[in-house]
């Protein structure tokens, strides 16, 4: 009987433990799953995620749209508005690979990025040797920069340009505009300018030198020490900060390369991407939930509207304007000249999306921007921080300053001249990757429910059974006890009777 009671009590304790476990699972299961996810994604050589990071199993593409100037002569001779015709897309598929990967002993990895571009005529509007007419970027950079130089220098420049027959517009193929053509001015500069100030090349192309292994050495955190730094850049070419801007915060480059982000992304978090050509960290804020191919839900992050805002509407952007107030960029443009050998290159979103409309209408032929076609976005799987889909859309513009002393460009007004825009992106990850994400997304909640139901049911059933048994047992025990006292009582009565019998004569007497 006593052993039985002990067993029942143990059962009750087990039942209570099961119930507590059920409640714990209900409250803390996600913590456990997060810990598992964190361990899985850390960039450790040999793991699957490391392989995907080092050699992404995707085919990114870059599609370029060039603004072909159709009235260059009228524009220069009688001051007509420039008319541009957007031609494209010219599509290249890319393969990305991180090479020379070295594991450092402080939870970081260093690598160089290799990007190989392959022209995809099947996806393009025309062949790579389609001819376009675009502003002569090296020449207009030189003339615009000479604005504040001595007058004799500008005159000298004018005669050199005369001799070399350099014109403000060039007729080049799309391939040349991107991958480089020999530019007489750059060639001259290379021969004349002292070694220290030399431009690094004599060809000019907007993607010049980008087909191949980059010389930039990048060090990123693997996430093994602190998952909050997963994929974040520690150093870029040995620097932890850029040298160009006026505050430490604006000089930061501790974003990711955009392929991964520190996991467990919430809608309140601001993501940050560093791209060398952007010359800064690009902040991204949550916009909405989206569905991506393969049925993996994602959060869409886009640059906030203030990212390229002018300093009047967003004073924080003052740090990107080291030359001081009058030369700060207009609303919607970002001045990257400090990263581009002082060429007056201004970035914006395509069709001047999020910029003042007056910029778009400075030239004729650019349709109003639309969010679907011209927005920049990242679709990120929030649990693992993996980018599922990207469309990085940027327009390159040239800020031309009118210089009267140089007769070739005397009629070229002050203008932000659009050159081209591109979208570089990934449409979808391969099934192998998304299967794992779908698993991570859908299975843990199911396991959680099953565990909760199982633990709680088992606990409750055990508890009820044990309590029921205990109650029944104690009931039976108390009846036994009662019977026992009855017996005693009867014995007493008998004894009394007996005594009475013995005493009877005495009493009688």
Ligand X SMILES: *[C@@H]1O[C@H](CO)[C@@H](O)[C@H](O)[C@H]1NC(C)=O
Sites of contact with ligand X (CB under 6 A): 68, 70, 74, 78-80, 87, 104, 106, 108, 116-119, 126, 130-133, 179, 211, 219, 234-235, 322-323, 327, 329, 335, 337-338, 344, 399
Site of tokens 């030359």: 323
Q: Which is nearer to ligand X, 118 or 498 (CB)?
A: 118
Strands in 126-270 per DSSP E: 131-135, 169-173, 181-182, 203-204, 212-221, 233-236
Q: Which is nearer to ligand X, 211 or 467 (CB)?
A: 211
Q: CB of residue 240 vs ligand X: minimum separation in angstroms?
A: 8
Distance CA 470, CA 5 (A): 7
Q: Which is nearer to ligand X, 273 or 345 (CB)?
A: 345
Q: Which is nearer to ligand X, 179 or 299 (CB)?
A: 179
Indicate the length of the chain as a whole number.
Answer: 509
Cβ neighbors of 480 (< 8 A, separation 6 or more) are: none
Q: Which is nearer to ligand X, 294 or 340 (CB)?
A: 340
Q: Which is nearer to ligand X, 133 or 158 (CB)?
A: 133
How many angstroms separate the first and last alpha carbons of the chain? Answer: 53
Distance CA 509, CA 505 (A): 6
Distance CA 200, CA 216 (A): 15
Nearest Cα neighbor of 252 from 261, 237, 262, 239 is 239
Cβ neighbors of 244 (< 8 A, separation 6 or more) are: 251, 279, 322, 338, 339
Q: Which is nearer to ligand X, 180 or 425 (CB)?
A: 180
Q: CB of residue 261 vs ligand X: minimum separation in angstroms?
A: 19
Half-sphere exposure (Cβ direction) of 445: Cα atoms closer than 13 Å: 5
Q: Where are the alpha helices (DSSP H) in 392-509?
A: 431-508
Q: CB of residue 34 vs ligand X: minimum separation in angstroms?
A: 24
Q: Which is nearer to ligand X, 200 or 324 (CB)?
A: 324
Half-sphere exposure (Cβ direction) of 112: Cα atoms closer than 13 Å: 10
Q: Which is nearer to ligand X, 87 or 265 (CB)?
A: 87
Q: CB of residue 290 vs ligand X: minimum separation in angstroms?
A: 32
Q: Is 399 helix (H, G, I), strand (E, B) or coil?
A: strand
| Phi, psi (deg, nearest 5) at residue 246 | -90, -15
Q: CB of residue 348 vs ligand X: minimum separation in angstroms?
A: 12
Q: Is 369 helix (H, G, I), strand (E, B) or coil?
A: coil
Q: CB of residue 98 vs ligand X: minimum separation in angstroms?
A: 16
Q: CB of residue 327 vs ligand X: minimum separation in angstroms?
A: 4
Q: Which is nearer to ligand X, 72 or 433 (CB)?
A: 72
Q: Classify residue 101 as exposed, middle or buried by CB count within 10 Å of its CB (0-12, 13-18, 19+).
A: middle
Q: CB of residue 328 vs ligand X: minimum separation in angstroms?
A: 7
Q: Which is nearer to ligand X, 78 or 507 (CB)?
A: 78
Q: CB of residue 183 vs ligand X: minimum separation in angstroms?
A: 18
Cβ neighbors of 173 (< 8 A, separation 6 or more) are: 128, 129, 130, 131, 132
Nearest Cα neighbor of 368 from 377, 379, 355 is 355
Q: CB of residue 117 vs ligand X: minimum separation in angstroms?
A: 4
Q: CB of residue 245 vs ligand X: minimum separation in angstroms?
A: 9
Strands in 254-385 per DSSP E: 271-275, 280-292, 296-302, 334-335, 345-348, 377-381
Q: Which is nearer to ligand X, 47 or 71 (CB)?
A: 71
| Cα separation values, 461 from 11, 18, 465, 466, 468, Å | 11, 11, 6, 8, 10
Q: Would you say the C-alpha torsion 306, 309, 313, 316 has a positive or negative sign?
A: positive
Q: CB of residue 190 vs ligand X: minimum separation in angstroms?
A: 22
């Amino acid at each position: 009987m006593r052993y039985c009671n002990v067993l029942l009590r143990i059962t009750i304790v087990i039942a209570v433990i099961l119930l507590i476990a059920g409640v714990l699972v209900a409250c803390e299961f996600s913590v456990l799953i997060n810990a598992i996810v964190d361990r899985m994604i850390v960039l450790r050589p040999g793991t699957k995620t490391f392989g995907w990071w080092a050699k992404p199993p995707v085919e990114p593409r870059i599609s370029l749209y060039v603004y072909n100037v159709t009235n260059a002569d009228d524009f220069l001779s009688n001051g007509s508005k420039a008319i541009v015709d957007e031609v494209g897309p010219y599509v290249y598929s890319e393969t990305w690979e991180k090479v020379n990967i070295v594991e450092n002993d402080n939870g970081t990895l260093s690598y160089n990025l290799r990007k190989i571009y392959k022209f995809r005529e099947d996806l393009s509007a025309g062949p790579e040797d389609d001819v376009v007419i675009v502003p002569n970027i090296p020449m207009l950079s030189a003339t615009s920069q000479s604005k504040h130089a001595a007058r004799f220098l500008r005159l000298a420049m004018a005669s050199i340009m005369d001799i070399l027959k350099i014109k403000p517009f060039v007729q080049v193929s799309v391939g040349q505009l991107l991958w480089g053509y020999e530019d007489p001015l750059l060639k001259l500069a290379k021969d004349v300018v002292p070694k220290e100030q030399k431009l690094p090349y004599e060809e000019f192309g907007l993607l010049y030198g980008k087909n191949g292994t980059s010389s930039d050495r990048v060090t990123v955190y693997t996430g093994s020490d602190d998952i909050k730094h997963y994929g974040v850049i520690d150093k870029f070419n040995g620097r932890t900060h850029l040298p160009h801007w006026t505050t430490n915060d604006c000089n930061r480059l501790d974003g990711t390369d955009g392929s991964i982000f520190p996991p467990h992304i919430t809608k309140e978090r601001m993501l940050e991407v560093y791209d060398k050509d952007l010359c800064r960290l690009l902040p991204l804020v949550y916009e909405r939930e989206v569905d991506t191919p393969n049925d993996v839900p994602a959060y869409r992050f886009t640059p906030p509207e203030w990212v390229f805002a002018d300093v009047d509407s967003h004073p924080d952007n003052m740090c990107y304007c080291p030359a001081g107030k009058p030369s700060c960029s207009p609303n919607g443009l970002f001045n990257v000249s400090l990263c581009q050998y002082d060429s007056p290159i201004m970035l914006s979103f395509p069709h001047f999306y999020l910029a003042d409309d007056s910029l778009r209408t400075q030239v004729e032929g650019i349709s109003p921007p639309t969010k679907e076609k011209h927005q920049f976005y990242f679709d990120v799987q929030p649990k693992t921080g993996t980018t599922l889909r990207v469309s990085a859309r940027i327009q390159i513009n040239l800020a031309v300053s009118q210089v009267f002393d140089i007769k070739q460009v005397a009629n070229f007004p002050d203008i932000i001249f659009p050159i081209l825009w591109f979208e570089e992106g990934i449409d979808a990850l391969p099934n192998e990757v998304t299967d794992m994400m779908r698993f991570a997304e859908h299975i843990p909640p199911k396991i959680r429910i099953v565990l909760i139901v199982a633990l709680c049911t088992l606990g409750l059933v055990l508890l009820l059974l044990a309590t029921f048994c205990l109650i029944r047992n104690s009931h039976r025990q108390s009846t036994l006890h009662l019977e026992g006292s009855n017996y005693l009582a009867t014995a007493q009565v008998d004894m009394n009777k007996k005594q009475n019998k013995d005493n009877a004569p005495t009493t009688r007497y």
